Amino acid sequence: MTEQHEPAPDGSADEAAASSPAAEDPAGVVDVDTLPGGLAAGIEAVLMVAERPVSEFDLAEVLGQSVDEIRATLDSLRAEYDGLTGNDDDPVVPRGFELRKVGGGWRFYSRAEFAPVVQAFVLEGQTSRLSQAAMETLAVIAYRQPVSRARVSAIRGVNVDGVVRTLVARGLVQEMERDPLTGALLYGTTPYFLEKLGLDSISELPQISPYLPGVEDVGDYDG
């Protein structure tokens, strides 16, 4: 027989539950008001990892708030990032990034004024050797093109978004088309890639099977 305990008369158990840093309601929605920064920080955390614009409705569902509250907080954040929330005594300078509403959703972008800085960072070290991760990702794209980032990630077992952006910046990989079924961008190698390898076409790539046991399973990854 299971022993049952009465709640503490001083309500300490209820207080402990209420003070949990990530208290959840019965539906499993995190109460963002209990987290550092509250709703505004919750929105920032979601947008920071989003690969595409996130709608106000999706943010409302994830964060357990009304669409009106989400919209008001987004407008407030955008004004803060644009340096519009300060005054003469306490000015707020614009951030290097901005919050834009595009394609029916919201997403962070670096400001256009900082394009030269961002370009210098992205292109820095283009003459350096590719990392092991970049080499592996490039090999998957070369042999499976046209291929989506999701499929490359499934094959490698890790997220490859940053690596793909590096390969695109270095002119080795390019966006080719969109998958007619999923709408995902498909990537392939560039003429510069062939030039660097001394090849005339992709068909001249060496057969990979003798060097990679189990490569026949690569086609099973549909990511």
- The CATH number of whichever domain residue 55 belongs to comes to 1.10.10.10
pTM > 0.95: yes or no = no
Residue 23 within any structural domain of the chain: no
At 220, the pLDDT band (50, 70, 90 cuts) reads: very low
Residue 103 within any structural domain of the chain: yes
pLDDT at position 221: 40
**Residue 100 sits in the same domain as residue 150:** no
Sort residue 133 into left (φ over 0), alpha (ψ -120 to 50) or beta: alpha
At 222, the pLDDT band (50, 70, 90 cuts) reads: very low
pLDDT at position 100: 87
Domains identified in the chain, total number: 2
**Tokens 């283009």, located at residue:** 126
At 115, the pLDDT band (50, 70, 90 cuts) reads: confident
Q: Are 147 and 154 in contact (CB under 8 A)?
A: no
Question: What's the average model confidence in pLDDT over 193-218?
Answer: 68
Residues near 205 by beta carbon (within 8 Å), at least 6 away in sequence: 142, 143, 197, 199
The parent domain of residue 176 ranges over 132-204
Q: Are 35 and 41 in contact (CB under 8 A)?
A: yes
**Residue 109 sits in the same domain as residue 52:** yes
Q: Please provide residue 180's backbone torsions phi and psi, each rounded to the nearest 5 degrees.
A: -65, -20
- Report the C-alpha gap between 87 and 221 in whole angstroms: 55
